[in-house]
Each structure stands twice: as structure tokens, then as C-alpha cells.
A and B are shown apart, each in its own frame.
Chain A
Amino acid sequence: MRRTVFPHKLLPWLLLAPQLAITLVFFYWPAAQAFRQSVMKEDPFGLSSAFVGLANFRKVLSDPNYLNAVQVTAVFSLLVAVSALGIALFLAVKAETIIRGKGFYRTLLIWPYAVAPAVAGMLWLFMFNPSFGTLAWPLRQLGIDWNPLLQGGDAMALVVAAATWKQISYNVLFFIAGLQAIPRSLLEASAIDGASRRHAFWTIVFPLLAPTTFFLLVVNTVYALFDTFGIIHAVTGGGPGKSTETLVYKVYNDGFVNLIMGDSAAQSVILMVIVIALTAFQFRFIERRVHYA
């Protein structure tokens, strides 16, 4: 606790005012509106609305399209998080083995972080589009019927690849930082005991890296849930046939394109609960880590 402070009473409020004003107007007010709308039913012209309790939630949760979006989101997030973490961990471990040129590789690996998700999606679509994609071409030559614009599975593979590609940079940087924090003496001791490098990795490095991995798992899940909207919107538009329609894309589509307010608000509230759960999980976990450190 700080002992010395400035005695002013009004100044701190003036300093806080801009942040608080923006927070209240653009965050709290709309969030409260989302909650309100989620228990109301509006007539199609928006002239009157009536309280309907949890009817919107019941409707949303029994809608096959919504359940499809839940499933698509689960598959998409799982694939993105697992591949982005796996590839990044592999590269970070290899980078740590290297003595010279580490910085050079790192520079090449961080580029995708700077690419907008929507642009990342478009880059992958350029390479893999069925009409002139350079990398779709060999697939077709091999007799594979590759068409992400018409086939759901192919579309999913494409958006997962683009989303994973973009997230590798971030994960590599954190894994490298995590690996550097592991005491060398532990690894040397295990080498003296004759443990193989593979054995040392699974019994020493991987467990000690668990805090980083858990942290990244949460961050990657949040990323896959929310930040990939641009990829879906730019590459597939949720299609073909809703095969890549994620929860966030559906909220956008229902509330903004199809204008179904009550449903969209109920979906927003469900998403809010997911974010709150993930953030709480992340902070609880970080608290614990600080405690042990």
C-alpha cells in the first residue's frame, strides 16, 4: 500500500472521467440493454415490446440451427487451440535447442501476428481457392475433390488452417518465454542421470510448462471463439450451408442481418456467460500461479 499520495480530491475524478464515460456508454449500457432485450419480445416494427421471461433462451436453446452453431464452434475452437498450441510448442522447443540464429527465426515466425484475421483468411483462400489457388491445384491433380466454397468439410479445414496460422506467433513467443524460465540445473541433472532428451521433455519440461500451457489454452479458446469472426465472415460467410457458422457469427447474422432482436440478445447473454467463465477461470488460475512463484 502506498503511503504518500497527492491530497487532491477532484483531480482524480477528472483523470478517470474519460475512461469511465467510455466504459459506461459503450460497455455497460449496451450490455445492460442486451440483458433487457433477452427477456423481452419486440414486434417486427420495434414499436412495442413485452416481457417474456426466459422464452427467448428456451427458443434459442431448442433451435437446431443454434445447436449446430454450438457444435461448429466446439469443433472449430478445439481444432484451432490444439493445433496452434501443438505446433507452437514444437517450434519453441526446437528454437530453444538452437544457439545461433534464434532471433532470425523468431522474426520470421512473428509476422502472422500483425496480419488481420480477415486478411489471414483471405490469404489462405487465395492459396486454396478451387479456381486458381496454387496449393489447391496439386490437390486437384491428385484427384482430390477439393472445394472449400461448396463443401463444408473443406471450408472448415480452410478456416481452421488460417486461424491456426495466425495464432502460432503468439503462442511461440509465450512458450519460448516459458522455456527460458525453466532452471537449466534440472535439465543438466537429468542428463547426468542418463535420461534421454525425449524423456526429460515429458517428465521435466512439459510439467513445468503447464502454467504457460494452461494460460495459452484459455487465451486460444477466447481467440477461437471471438477474434476469428473476421476469418469466417471474409472466407465462408458461415457457409456452405451453415457448416462454418460459429456462435459469434450467428449473433452477428441474427441481430444485424436478419434483425431477430430477442434471439440475438439471448445469444449475446449466453456468450457473455461464456466469456465471464473463461476470464474468471484464467484469473483464478493466475492468482494461484503467483502464489506458488
Chain B
Amino acid sequence: MAAGRLARTMAHFWMILGALIVAFPIYYVFIASTHSVQTILRPPLPLLPGPEAAANYGEAFSGGVARIGGVSVWRLLGNTTLIALGIAIGKIVISMASAYAIVFFRFPLRMACFWLIFVTLMLPVEVRIQPTYKVMVDLGLIDTYGGLILPLIASATATLLFRQFFMTIPDELLEAARVDGAGPWRFFKDILWPLSLTNVAAIFVIQFIYGWTQYLWPLLVTNSNEMNTIVIALRKMISFADADTPWNLVMVTSVLAILPPILVVVLMQRWFVKGLVETEK
């Protein structure tokens, strides 16, 4: 848009204001994590980092969080990382496999399989909470990593995206590969996989965030503290009624709960934006 100097300056003003408001809650919790409980409990909180950063983070990592939540912060981060990676990688593997089958083979009921996968878009966990829980109990998957990961790796969106991408691969490429005697595995490994890397990276970022931020599902299928994700553990640590809540450690845990996914989004921003805008469209 042909904008004058004044309009551009105003635009910068609004963007700075918007960015400040959007980033403030994250900045706030980071600042709070560097102050003592006494400072946190006496509003307003200073706007600059305090002197207690080393003490708070040291205490959180050396058993402070375990005293409140019953499980160490290492274990929480480990659980959450494992679940997020398991969901992201699992989704990529099974949706690439099914998209590959649907696009590069002809077999009876091919489109029926496609629709079967597609319709799962309309069945989010929230609409089938109780019966899904019962399936988990029957299969003995409560409080297991399998139970936390498996049901979440079926993904219509990732399958759709890979299918769409595979369909753009020219016929000539497959013909040439087959003339050279390449079977399905060779064709996938040497030709399709290298071409898919950008899409894989994009889906990985989106699904890692999806896995890391899960809430309802871990809440349903875990009872033991040992299996908590960091988000669930954080929720359990918070009590406004309890005067003894160590808010400094709560703030440290909050920072640890939001930092890894933020780093993934910011560092892999190019693929993130591509993944988001292209998968959903």
C-alpha cells in the first residue's frame, strides 16, 4: 500500500504496542521467575529481572519442584519431550506411509480408506472423551507412554498434506525410476524423501507444538505423578488458597513449560509459517 511517512510511523507505533502486549505475559512470568516469593507476593512486580534467578532455577532443578509436585522437573521435561517427539515423529511416519499407499498404488477400497482417515477430522478427543477412556482402560494403556502417544498420532491433516504433495510429483519421475528397476522402497528413499524434506520439517514443527501443549488427553490417561507432563504438573502446583505455594518455583516451572516450544517456533520460523499457512489452507 502506498503509505506516507506519517502512516508508516503510526504503523510502527501500533506494531510496537501490539508486540509489547502480546509478548508481555511471557516476559512477566520470566521476570517473576527471577524474584523471591516475598517480592512476587507484593505487587506490583518490578519490570526488570531480580537477583534470585540462580537461586530459583537452582532450587527447581535440584529437587524443589519434586517437593511440591512429587516428581522432579527433569522427569517432567523428559516426559513432555518424549511425548512431543513421539507424536510428531509418529504422525509423520504413519501419515507418510498411508499417503504413499493412497497415491502410488491402486487397490480396491483405496478411496474408502482415504475417506475413513479424512473423517477423523470431525472426531476430536473432546467429543468422545468417556468411551475413548474406556478403550484405554481395556487395553491397559493408562499411565503408559503408549497411551499418551498412540491415540494422538492418527492425523488426517498430515495425511492430507502429504497426499497433496505426492500428487504433484510428475508421472515421468516415477516412470523413469521404474525403468531403472527401482521398487517402492528405493523410489521413496532416493527420490520422494529428499523432495519431501521441507514438508516434513513444517509438519514436525506444528506437531511438536501440538504434542507439547496437550492437556485434556494427558489429564485423562495419567493418574500417577510420574507420568505427568510439565503442563499438567504446573496446574497441580498452583493453589491460590494455599498460603505456602512457592510461587517462585511455580514461575520457574512455567518458564520451563513454555520455553522449549517457543524456541522451536522461533528458530524454525520459516518452516513453522509454511507448515501452518499451507497445511491448514
A137 within 8 A of B: yes
Inter-chain contacts of A28 with B (CB < 8 A)? 116, 123
Structural contact, A26 and B132, CB atoms closer than 8 A: yes
Structural contact, B113 and A31, CB atoms closer than 8 A: no
Structural contact, B154 and A22, CB atoms closer than 8 A: yes
**What CA separation (Å) do A188 and B103 show in the bound complex?**
44
Inter-chain contacts of A272 with B (CB < 8 A)? 122-123, 127-128
CB distance from A183 to the nearest CB of B (A): 12
**What CA separation (Å) do A286 and B121 show in the bound complex?**
15
**Most chain B beta-carbon neighbours within 10 Å: one of A30, A95, A136:** A30
Inter-chain contacts of A115 with B (CB < 8 A)? 26, 213, 258, 261-262
- How many A residues face the partner with a CB closer than 8 A? 103
Contact count band on B: 35 or more
Structural contact, B117 and A113, CB atoms closer than 8 A: no
Structural contact, A119 and B277, CB atoms closer than 8 A: no
Structural contact, B130 and A119, CB atoms closer than 8 A: no
Inter-chain contacts of B227 with A (CB < 8 A)? none
CB distance from B233 to the nearest CB of A (A): 11
Inter-chain contacts of B22 with A (CB < 8 A)? 108-109, 111-112, 165, 168-169
Inter-chain contacts of A107 with B (CB < 8 A)? 266, 269
**Most chain A beta-carbon neighbours within 10 Å: one of B110, B150, B213, B234:** B213
Structural contact, A19 and B126, CB atoms closer than 8 A: no
**What CA separation (Å) do A248 and B106 show in the bound complex?**
41
Interface positions, chain B 7-46, Cβ under 8 Å from A, are 7-8, 10-12, 14-16, 18-19, 22-23, 25-26, 28-29, 32, 40-45
- Chain A's closest residue to B108 (CB) is A9
Structural contact, B264 and A114, CB atoms closer than 8 A: yes
Stretch from B54-62, B66-74, B215-223 contacting the other chain = B215-223
Answer whether A134 and B45 are a contact pair too, CB < 8 Å, given A25-B135, A107-B269. yes
Interface positions, chain B 84-132, Cβ under 8 Å from A, are 93-95, 97-98, 100-107, 110, 113, 116-117, 120-124, 126-132
Structural contact, B43 and A137, CB atoms closer than 8 A: yes
**Most chain A beta-carbon neighbours within 10 Å: one of B18, B159, B234:** B18
The one of A11, A105, A264 in contact with B184, judged by C-beta atoms closer than 8 angstroms, is A11
CB distance from B241 to the nearest CB of A (A): 9
- Chain B's closest residue to A264 (CB) is B130
CB distance from B249 to the nearest CB of A (A): 13
CB distance from A266 to the nearest CB of B (A): 11
The one of A18, A98, A118 in contact with B215, judged by C-beta atoms closer than 8 angstroms, is A118
Structural contact, A105 and B19, CB atoms closer than 8 A: yes
Structural contact, A5 and B154, CB atoms closer than 8 A: no
B272 within 8 A of A: yes
B171 within 8 A of A: yes
- Chain A's closest residue to B183 (CB) is A6
Structural contact, B26 and A123, CB atoms closer than 8 A: yes
Structural contact, A34 and B105, CB atoms closer than 8 A: no
- Chain A's closest residue to B152 (CB) is A26
Inter-chain contacts of B281 with A (CB < 8 A)? 215, 286
Structural contact, B129 and A31, CB atoms closer than 8 A: no
Structural contact, B131 and A98, CB atoms closer than 8 A: no
Inter-chain contacts of A9 with B (CB < 8 A)? 107
Known: A6-B184, A111-B262. 10 other contacts (CB 8 A): A2-B104, A4-B171, A9-B107, A94-B11, A109-B22, A110-B269, A116-B215, A118-B234, A119-B257, A230-B231
Q: Please list 12 pairs of residues, one from A and one from B, whose beta carbons are closer than 8 Å in the complex, sorted by A's number.
A: A2-B171, A6-B104, A12-B102, A22-B153, A26-B151, A27-B154, A34-B128, A114-B264, A116-B258, A117-B215, A264-B129, A269-B127
